Amino acid sequence: MPKTVDLTGQKFGEFTVLERTKERQDGYCVWRCRCSCGKEILVNTKRLQRGTMRDCGCVSVQTARKGPIAEDLTGRRFGRLTVLHRVENRNGRVCWACRCDCGTMHVVTAHDLKEGRVKSCGCFFRKTGRGMIDLKGQRYGRLTVVEMTERRDKRGSVIWRCRCDCGGEICVSENGLVHGNYRSCGCLKKEIQKDIYQQLHFIDGTCLEMLEKRKHRKDNTSGFRGVSRMKNGRYRVYIGFKGKRYYIGYFSDYQDAVTARLQAEQYIHDGFVKDYALWQQRAGKEPEWAKENPFVFEVKKLSGRLEIISSVRKQEYSEKALSESSL
């Protein structure tokens, strides 16, 4: 049997070994130890030598709110920062209160201090501009970078003052410029929106392009535009035109509801586009006729049915009747 090593008087963490007892635990000798707080406790040889037990529990209770025991950085210097004392953890990281050489108090995580990521409160960075990209004089779209400001965004990115080609000025972060999020003071967006609006064709408040390229609404409950599923399980069909909503009816079968909606689109939307194309074609050849016969396309619900009042169709019917009477 191997000779037992005498641990009396030795220190293990917060423990000081007092004496060996006659007890044994898991085949190991048990020692009476005194913690730095004054409390005595029995610990076996394995736990002492392997460091799995270093105090009676008092240290864990005292640091429970602060987090796990960390290396003491008090008094140490990191760049321009002098560590004063430990503060409450942030997001599970050990934090220290530091004083910068400029006199500013700054809270930094132990990880950032040891890795050299933070060496000042920011004063050195603001004065010298070291560690950042100099954007002065560079162009990003219509913006020309004029100078750096002392402001920073939420992520610490430098705010730069820029002058737009239109003469306006705007302050933009470095990330916004480099990643192309800002290309002007806002004038470019206005011009693009104006050009898009000019390219669209509105007739009595109705956009032809939107009718030709109809899309599904995100809040649709049935999966098909103009068809909504009600609480009783039935489907309500409607169609919109010129800012008004016209209800077509209620259906128990989904396919019947979809068919009714498609027929309404063909009757109203497609009819509107077709009639306007015919009117525009003739208006290009006969400007005087276009002034005397402006384009009219109205939808009315009569006796539960949708009826179309169109100047183009009325003109076609009248010309057809005239040609038949001449025969």
Confidence of residue 126 (pLDDT cuts 50, 70, 90): low
Tell how far CA 130 is from the center of its chain: 31
Q: Considering Cα of 81, then 75, then 83, then 101, what sign does the dihedral take?
A: negative
CA distance 327 to 316: 17
Q: What's the token pair of residue 23?
A: 């007890």
Q: What's the token pair of residue 66?
A: 């602060």
Confidence of residue 59 (pLDDT cuts 50, 70, 90): low
**Looking at 5-9, 134-138, 184-188, 211-215, which range is the least confident one?**
211-215
**For the residues of 258-273, what is the DSSP string, one character each?**
HHHHHHHIIIIIHHHH
320 pLDDT higher than 90? no
Percentage of the chain exceeding pLDDT 90: 11
pLDDT at 83: 92
DSSP conformational letter for 149: E
Can you name the residues that pair with 44 across neighbouring β-strands? 30
Cα–Cα distances in angstroms (integers) from residue 170 to residues 132, 139, 154, 155, 177, in the given order: 20, 13, 18, 19, 11
- pLDDT digits over 217-237, tens only? 555 555 677 888 888 889 998
- pLDDT digits over 170-190, tens only? 999 888 888 888 889 988 888
- pLDDT digits over 259-268, tens only? 888 888 888 8
pTM (global) more than 0.75: no
pLDDT at 228: 86
Which amino acid belongs to residue 312? V
pLDDT at 128: 46
Confidence of residue 194 (pLDDT cuts 50, 70, 90): low
In the predicted model, what is the mean pLDDT of the chain? Answer: 78
Instruction: Please name the helix (run of DSSP H) or strand (run of DSSP E) that holds residue 312, with its range, or none.
Output: helix 311-326
CA distance 275 to 294: 12
Per-residue pLDDT averaged across 91-96, rounded? Answer: 83
pLDDT at 197: 52
pLDDT at 143: 92
| Domain assignments of the chain as residue spans, ordered by start | 11-62, 77-125, 133-188, 201-326
